[in-house]
Amino acid sequence: MMSIADFAERTGIVPSALRFYESKGILVPAERQANGYRTYGDHQIHEAKLVNSLRQAGISLNDIRGFLESDEETRSRLLERWRREAEARILSVQIASQYLNGMEPGPGSLHLVRWDEPLTLLWQPYEVHKPVHSYSLACEHALQQLRQAGIRPQGTGLIRVLDSRESSVLIEVGYQLGRDPNAKCRSQSLPPEAYLETLPPTLFVSVDSSWEDIFICMRTIRFLEKFGFKPSGKRIERHFEDSDSFEILIPVMQSTMG
């Protein structure tokens, strides 16, 4: 058996950390002597190094406890989840680096926006005739359709441009559904073209624009190239009532759901 000092030397974990792990019920000494001194066995060396390694990898104490108490199949699932989360953290840091490297000291037009929770959106298609100076009528009609179905959406209208034709623009208008558990059922009373979509937590590059900016697509592409971003999905536009400006959201990182 080893004293806490000897065990700390063998494992590379300082005694204060060993005491902390014990207080959390994760790494309990093999024995406690009559004088209260902690003693550890050789069989605990691997477990101690494993616990400390998982902590260094950013795994929470609760997750580590669950891992140690789980069977091999559950451990495999946990490891796979942790790998995905680690990859997401790496990508998030990379995006932060790209953003900071592209920033200028003065005011800029590009920002980062994060949706931390999954969003359930109900989309309805519309055709808007050119010249287009606003999507307000399409948003108002979409809202009216939802209210007639007994649905109370949250937030402002979101727009996805599907196709730009010679005389019109084909779009989708989306509104976020609230926490009403019956909202999805009531959505079945909407036109058959309407559909539900759940967007995972997403990090967006945000670009402010206006209807007068006819070069917005070229400018957005230029911004993305400058900052080194690669889109991970379709862009979304967020339009605000009684405003000539709108926000373009380009997803650059989406979490894996499930």
129-139: pLDDT as tens digits? 998 888 989 99
| pLDDT one-digit tens code per residue, 8-51 | 999 999 999 999 999 998 998 998 888 888 999 999 999 999 99
Q: CA–CA separation, 12 vs 17, rounded Å?
A: 10
CATH 3.40.630.40 fits 2-68, yes or no: no
Token duo for residue 208: 């402010």
Give the SS3 label for residue 55: helix
Residue pLDDT, tens place only, 50-98: 999 999 999 999 999 999 999 999 999 999 999 988 887 887 787 778 7
Return the CATH fold of 112-254.
Multidrug-efflux Transporter 1 Regulator Bmrr; Chain A (3.20.80)
Question: Looking at 4-8, 58-62, 205-209, which range is the least confident one?
Answer: 205-209
Q: What is the mean pLDDT of the chain?
A: 85
Tell me what pLDDT residue 212 has. 73
- The pTM is what? 0.66
- Read off the tokens for 216: 């917005």
- Within 8 A by CB and 6+ apart from 218, the residues are none
| Topology match between the domains 2-68 and 112-254 | no
Order of all β-strands in the sheet with 2-3: 2-3, 38-40, 31-32
More confident residue, 227 or 154: 154
Whole-Å CA distances, 241 to 118, 172, 178, 238, 247: 24, 17, 20, 10, 12
**Per residue in 173-199, pLDDT tens?**
999 987 776 777 777 788 889 999 999
Domain range annotation of the chain:
2-68, 112-254
| Concatenated DSSP letters of 145-200 | HHHHTT--EEEEEEEEEEEE-SSEEEEEEEEEE-S-TTHHHHGGGS-TT-EEEEEP
